[in-house]
Amino acid sequence: MSHRREVSRIEGFSDAVFAFAVTLLVVSLEVPHTFDELWAAMRQFFAFAICFALLFQVWWRHFNFFRRYGLEDAPTIVLTGILLFVVLFYVYPLKFVFTLVVNQIIGVPPSHDGTGGPIIRNVDTPRLMQIYSGGVVAVFSVFALMYANAFRQRVRLGLDTRQQLEARLNIIDNAGIALIGVASVLVATLGGPLAAAAIAGPMYFLIGPFKWGLGWYSAKAYKRLEIISTADTSPV
């Protein structure tokens, strides 16, 4: 249940920052003059789509948080500022990573940086994964802290038992994804270029099993809560 319907100034500012971040993802602000330029731009469509989907997911989580709690206290403002800073800072690394991945999948040669050199050397792969995973850790840690702050104020916000459970589950959800990012950083740092490419990146597929497990746990938790609520309201 949302606690406020109107859009606050911090939400409006956040929306503007997210819109600007999407603008930075655009392949080119200039209209292609030749078909070759158009085709080069079209080859970046899938990388743009992936990056847009990831940014939209971050925006959606932020939107849902404010629809649920409508907090405008100091911790929420500070955490939102950190989130927006990370989103803007990581737009280009995000675009670089997924352009590289998509180009490898569709078979675009990896050596065309304008000077004939490689776009990325094997020795740079660990640093690339450290940069990307650092952004994942930062974003989802911020969300976990925002939900923890809301849960801390559950009495003032008037959260019922179900809403409190929802807040706890969101803390687990965001903290779990952040921990997968931490594991990716550790693998990239300690494992070298081969581990960074073969393990640190694919490690994010663990998000799927984690979300499945969290969904199973959530269903059981909501069912227990429903049983308890039914028992409490049943006539003696």
CB 147 within 8 A of CB 191: no
Cα dihedral 166, 172, 178, 180 sign: negative
CB 18 within 8 A of CB 59: yes
**Neighbouring residues of 209: CB distance < 8 A, sequence distance ≥ 6:** none
Could you tell me the residue ranges of all domains in the chain? 1-71+89-110, 120-236
Give Cα 174 distance to the centre of its chain. Answer: 9
Give the Å distances, CA to CA, from 51 to 12, 65, 107, 179, 196: 22, 22, 19, 21, 21
Torsional class of 73: left (φ above 0), alpha (ψ -120 to 50), beta (otherwise): beta
pLDDT tens figures, 155-200: 999 999 999 999 999 999 999 999 999 999 999 998 888 877 788 8
Given this model, what pLDDT does residue 9 score?
Answer: 84
Give the three-class secondary structure for 201: coil
Given this model, what pLDDT does residue 234 score?
Answer: 53
pLDDT higher than 50, residue 1? no
pLDDT tens figures, 21-61: 988 887 555 667 788 777 777 777 888 899 999 999 999 99
How many Cβ atoms sit within 10 Å of the Cβ of residue 32? Answer: 14
Q: What is the largest CA-CA distance in the chain?
A: 81
pLDDT tens figures, 191-217: 888 877 788 889 999 999 999 999 999
Residue 32 phi, psi dihedral angles, 5° rounding: -60, 140
